[in-house]
């Protein structure tokens, strides 16, 4: 593993690159963490996934989005469009790395990182796309939820989401994003994993993912777990199936 910093828009994005033990340039996957997370992800699943990919001959880059973890920036400035631009910058930096094959890049994301990855995949050529509980609903809230958020921001200056602030900049940016139409240009295979108790990815959104990716979608539904795949067996299955999918499709 080596530390790899990437400059983007006046900020340094900090991360760790896991390279396989090979003398040839390897395919690579960029791992995009969820809202308020960091490059280790819940239960250190990104660390385990990156190590498992490297053992299969695939490089993996775990990085902190701006304002998160060790990266520069202010969390208050977080928007989906900015994260998509960061993901594109990360892919560009990986393509320039001497240990990486620039023609064999892929994306993987959890929750808001999953939404980020699906949007970035439509803008930067990648071989494959893996999504854990992607948060399309973050930019397509129903009227009642949107009003609650607007009221909270009007009163406090932010909406409190699990102890982290969602600011008006995030809301304004979301208005210009269609999570499905804006992702439609990506032509490759997709793995999607979701728990039956997930409050973020409900049935109607899941149906839209099926419509978006069609027969290119490899869907895995995990019984009796929520948004964070909260059991040891579920997380082991999640890491293993994702590593296998990405190694086979890059």
Contact 234, 222 (CB under 8 A): yes
- Tell me the C-alpha distance between 229 and 237, whole Å: 10
- Confidence class for position 85, pLDDT limits 50, 70, 90: very high
* 57 Ramachandran zone, left/alpha/beta (phi>0; psi -120 to 50): left
Q: Which domains does the chain have, with CATH numbers?
A: 2-140+178-249 (3.40.50.1820)
The pTM (predicted TM-score) of the whole model is 0.96
What's the pLDDT tens digit per position in 18-34? Answer: 999 988 999 999 999 99
- Tell me the C-alpha distance between 179 and 165, whole Å: 22
Q: What is the DSSP letter of 162?
A: T
- Tell me the C-alpha distance between 90 and 111, whole Å: 18
What's the pLDDT tens digit per position in 147-176? Answer: 999 999 999 999 999 899 999 999 999 999
- Tell me the C-alpha distance between 187 and 32, whole Å: 20
């Amino acid at each position: 593993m080596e530390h790899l910093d990437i400059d983007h828009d006046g900020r340094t994005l900090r991360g760790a690159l896991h390279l396989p033990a090979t003398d040839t340039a390897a395919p690579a996957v960029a791992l995009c963490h969820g809202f308020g997370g960091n490059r280790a992800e819940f239960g250190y699943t990104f660390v385990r996934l990156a190590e498992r990919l490297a053992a299969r001959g695939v490089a993996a880059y775990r990085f902190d989005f701006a304002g998160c973890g060790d990266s520069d920036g202010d969390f208050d400035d977080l928007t989906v469009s900015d994260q998509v631009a960061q993901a594109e910058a990360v892919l560009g930096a990986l393509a320039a790395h001497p240990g990486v094959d620039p023609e064999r890049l892929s994306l993987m994301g959890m929750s808001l990182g999953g939404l980020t990855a699906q949007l970035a995949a439509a803008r930067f050529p990648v071989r494959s796309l893996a999504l854990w509980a992607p948060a399309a609903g973050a930019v397509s809230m129903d009227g009642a939820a949107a009003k609650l958020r607007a009221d909270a921001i009007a009163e406090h200056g932010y909406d409190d989401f699990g102890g982290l602030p969602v600011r008006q900049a995030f809301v304004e940016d979301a208005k210009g994003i269609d999570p499905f139409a804006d992702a439609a240009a990506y032509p490759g295979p997709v793995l999607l994993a979701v728990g039956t108790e997930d409050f973020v990815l409900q049935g109607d959104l899941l149906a839209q993912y099926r419509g978006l990716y069609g027969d290119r979608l490899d869907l895995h539904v995990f019984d009796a777990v929520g948004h964070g795949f909260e059991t040891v067996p579920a997380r082991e299955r999640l890491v293993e199936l994702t590593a296998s999918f990405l190694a086979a499709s890059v």
